Amino acid sequence: MCGRMAMTLPHDAMAQLFNAAPANDLPEVPNYNVCPTVPVAAVTSGEEGRRYRPVRWGFIPHWYTKPNGGPLLINARAETIAEKPAFKAACRERRCIIPAAGFYEWERPEDGSKLPWFVQRSDGAPLAMAAIWQDWGELGSTAVIVTTSANNAMGKIHHRIPVILEADQWAKWLGEEGKGAATLMTATGEDTLTFHRVDTAVNSNRAQGPELIDPLDV
C-alpha cells in the first residue's frame, strides 16, 4: 500500500517531464512527509491536453454527503478497482499519475514495532504512481493511488505496492492511446525499486525535513 510519500521535485521540472501545463496553486515542495487528506500534484489529461495540478489525496465517492462521510480511501486495489462502486467510473474515465520522489512503507515485526522504509526508483527517476480522481464539492478533485501485489523484493516489507508506470505507459494510463489500461496494473520489476530503512521519526505525521529519507544504519 502507500500511506505516506515524499514530494521533493520542483514542479516546473515535473510539468516539463510529463509535458503538462502546470497549475498556479500547486502544493508547496519539498515535502518529505506527505500525508493523506492533503493536496498532492497529479498529471491529468483531457480535451485541453495534459495538466499538472493539485488533487486531494483521499478519494471521496459521489454519495458521501461530507468529506468524512465514510472510510478514508487513499489506496484502491487493482484487482477490484473496475468493479467497486466507489471507483469503477473513475477507473474508466478519470485516470491520473501522481509523481513522487518516493514513498514510505512500514515493516511490522512480531514485537509490534513499526519500522519505516523509504522506497524509490533504482535509476533515480521520479516514481509515476497510477491513480484515479474525481471531483467532490468544495474540495475539488480527490484521488486514490492504485495498488497491486508486491513483487518478491518488496514483499519482504509489505504485501502491497503502488502500481508504478514506466514512461512508455503514461499515455495509455491517461487514456490518450485508447483502451488497455488494465494491463498496466501489475507489480513492477524486481530491479525497478530500491529501499532502505529510515528513522522512526517519520512515524509521526508531523515530522518534516530531508533527514526523514536518510538511510538508517541498522
| pLDDT tens, position by position, 160-203 | 999 999 999 999 999 999 889 999 999 888 899 999 999 999 99
- From 121, 77, 117, select the one nearest 101 (Cα to Cα): 121
Picking from 81, 196, 178, 61, the residue whose alpha carbon sits closest to that of residue 130 is 81
Coil, strand or helix at 211: helix
Reported as a single tens digit per residue, the pLDDT across 65-114 is 999 999 999 999 999 999 999 999 999 999 999 999 999 999 988 888 89
Q: What is the CATH number of the domain that holds 140?
A: 3.90.1680.10
In a domain, 199, yes or no: yes
Going from the C-alpha of 179 to that of each of 140, 169, 173, the distances in angstroms are 27, 12, 9
Q: What is d(CA 185, CA 109) in angstroms, rounded to the nearest whole number?
A: 28
Q: Does 152 fall in a domain? A: yes
Q: Residue 31: what are its φ and ψ, rounded to 5°?
A: -135, 110
Structural domain of 59: 5-213
Which three cell numbers mark 133? 480522481
| Residue 163 parent element (H or E) | none
DSSP state of 139: G
Structurally, the chain folds into a number of domains equal to: 1
Read off the amino acid at residue 162. Answer: P
